[in-house]
């Protein structure tokens, strides 16, 4: 299923060389050097994981947004299912979908639901079926910044749009000062970073800007960065690293990457008080989402301009993309087993510790039912 681009503005929708896949083993791994997922306090017990007939290598790639969650899941899963090795390469949503549609991976992670043409293309590799979107991971897209002496920064959608469109270029700009009357804003150049790769995080962030600040953000939401100016970096870990090491930097990233003391922006919405990027505030937004996919597709609709107190407006949902029918016989058991664990109560229970929001019960229940029916 794919809604038209016009409608997609209000949705939480979003090339791989298999030899380059990042092998995740029981020890876990992290391309930032410090995985929240690897260090999460595990609520899942190995004995609760149903390995079924799973065996061999499971190749997957895509969203870097969910990488820390994948790390946490793989650590538990491979400890229980010792005959399986899960290889997840966080290449970004666009590359992950491309690899899946080329038949290189068993499933893909994407922060945007599939386009109509991608679903049509998937019928070539999903024999007798098609690719579907399974919402598995949620969370806020935090806006991290590096401005010494400014610990509590408030921005709204129009101001963010102007910053990332190079219309506001200094930290003591009048628009920023108006939103932060008590802050000592320095005379410092803004260094705005965006993703260099095709990214569902970019898609969701620009969807928010277009929906909440249409007069100031004239670009169509896209996995590719469309605005002019600014600087770029590869992956969520790349932009996070740039913010940490660059004075005056600002960028968008999943909350799990805004760590090690990084300051994050509170977003002014229609509510009385600005809203912080927290798991709880993201859960409040995701909890109000509606399933708008057709058939077994579970794409979600989100509200980017909430008025409810505590609802953080910049939220993404990462989908696992798999064939509903026609999955490869040699990887189907491992695919179902691993996705079932991800969607399980134990699997979802790991997410908060890894910096993510679990899916609401009514949504994850549908995911479990759908995964069980994969063939």
| Residues pairing with 231 in the sheet | 193
> Are 289 and 301 a contacting pair, CB within 8 Å?
yes
pLDDT at 171: 98
Q: With DSSP H G I counted as helix, E B as strand and the rest as coil, what are the percentages for the chain, rounded to 5?
A: 35, 20, 50
Q: Rounded CA gap, 164 and 14, in Å? A: 19
**pLDDT of the residue at 47:** 54
Query: Cα dihedral angle (171, 176, 179, 184), rounded to 10 degrees?
Result: 30
Instruction: Tell me how far apart the alpha carbons of residues 356 and 351 are, in angstroms, rounded to a whole number.
Output: 5
How high is the pLDDT of residue 260?
Answer: 80
Cβ-contact 219, 189 below 8 angstroms:
no
Q: Strand, coil or helix: what is 214?
A: coil
Q: Which residue, chain included where needed, has tokens 């293309």?
A: 121
Helix, coil or strand: residue 195 = strand
pLDDT of residue 301: 86
Say how far apart CA 36 and CA 33 lie, in whole Å.
10
The whole-model pTM stands at 0.74
Name the CA radius of gyration of the chain, rounded.
Answer: 20
Contact present, 241 and 260 (Cβ < 8 Å): no
Q: pLDDT tens for the chain, 375 residues: list them.
A: 333 333 333 333 333 333 333 333 322 333 333 333 333 333 334 558 999 999 999 999 999 889 989 999 999 999 999 999 999 999 999 999 999 999 999 999 998 899 899 999 999 999 999 999 999 999 899 999 999 999 999 999 999 999 999 999 999 999 999 999 999 999 999 999 999 998 888 999 999 999 999 999 999 999 899 999 999 999 989 999 999 999 999 999 989 899 888 999 999 999 999 999 999 999 888 887 888 888 899 999 888 888 889 999 999 999 999 999 999 999 999 999 999 999 999 999 999 888 888 998 889 999 999 999 999
CA torsion through residues 331, 333, 336, 337, sign? negative
- 291-331: pLDDT as tens digits: 888 889 999 988 888 888 999 999 999 999 999 999 999 99
**What is the pLDDT at residue 6?**
35
What is the predicted pLDDT for the residue at 308? 87
Q: Which distant-in-sequence residues (6+ apart) come within 8 Å of 108 by Cβ?
A: 60, 61, 62, 93, 96, 97, 99, 100, 320, 321, 322
- Residue 77 token pair: 């899963």
What confidence tens digit (pLDDT) does each residue in 201-244 have? 899 999 999 999 999 999 999 989 999 999 999 998 999 999 99
């Amino acid at each position: 299923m794919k809604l038209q681009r016009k409608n997609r503005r209000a949705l939480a929708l979003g090339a791989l060389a298999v030899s380059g896949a990042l092998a995740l083993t029981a020890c876990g791994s992290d391309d930032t050097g410090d995985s929240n997922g690897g260090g999460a306090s595990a609520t899942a017990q190995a004995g609760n994981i149903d390995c079924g007939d799973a065996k061999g290598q499971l190749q997957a790639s895509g969203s870097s947004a969910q990488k820390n969650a994948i790390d946490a899941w793989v650590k538990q899963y491979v400890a229980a299912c010792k005959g399986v090795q899960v290889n997840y390469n966080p290449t970004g949503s666009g590359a992950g979908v491309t690899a899946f549609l080329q038949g290189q991976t068993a499933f893909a992670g994407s922060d945007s639901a599939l386009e109509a043409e991608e679903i049509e293309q998937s019928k070539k590799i999903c024999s007798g079926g098609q690719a579907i979107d399974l919402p598995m991971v949620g969370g806020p897209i935090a806006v991290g910044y590096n401005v010494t002496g400014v610990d509590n920064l408030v921005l709204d959608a129009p101001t963010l749009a102007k910053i990332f469109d190079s219309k506001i270029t200094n930290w003591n700009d009048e628009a920023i000062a108006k939103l932060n009357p008590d802050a000592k804003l320095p005379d410092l150049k803004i260094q705005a970073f965006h993703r260099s790769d095709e990214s569902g995080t970019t898609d969701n962030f620009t969807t928010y800007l277009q929906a909440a600040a249409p007069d100031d953000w004239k670009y169509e939401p896209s996995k590719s960065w469309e605005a002019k100016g600014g600087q770029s970096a590869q992956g969520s870990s790349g932009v996070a690293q740039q913010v940490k090491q660059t004075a005056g930097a600002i960028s968008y990233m999943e909350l799990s990457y805004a760590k090690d003391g990084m300051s994050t922006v509170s977003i002014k919405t229609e509510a009385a008080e600005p809203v912080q990027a927290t798991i709880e505030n993201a859960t409040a937004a995701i909890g109000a989402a509606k399933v708008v996919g057709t058939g077994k597709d579970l794409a979600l609709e989100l509200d980017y301009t909430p008025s409810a107190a505590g609802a953080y407006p910049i939220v993404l949902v990462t989908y696992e993309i798999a064939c509903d029918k026609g999955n490869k016989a040699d990887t189907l058991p491992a695919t179902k087993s691993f996705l079932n664990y991800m969607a399980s109560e134990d699997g979802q229970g790991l997410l908060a510790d890894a910096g993510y929001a679990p899916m609401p019960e009514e949504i994850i229940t549908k995911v479990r039912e759908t995964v069980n029916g994969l063939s």
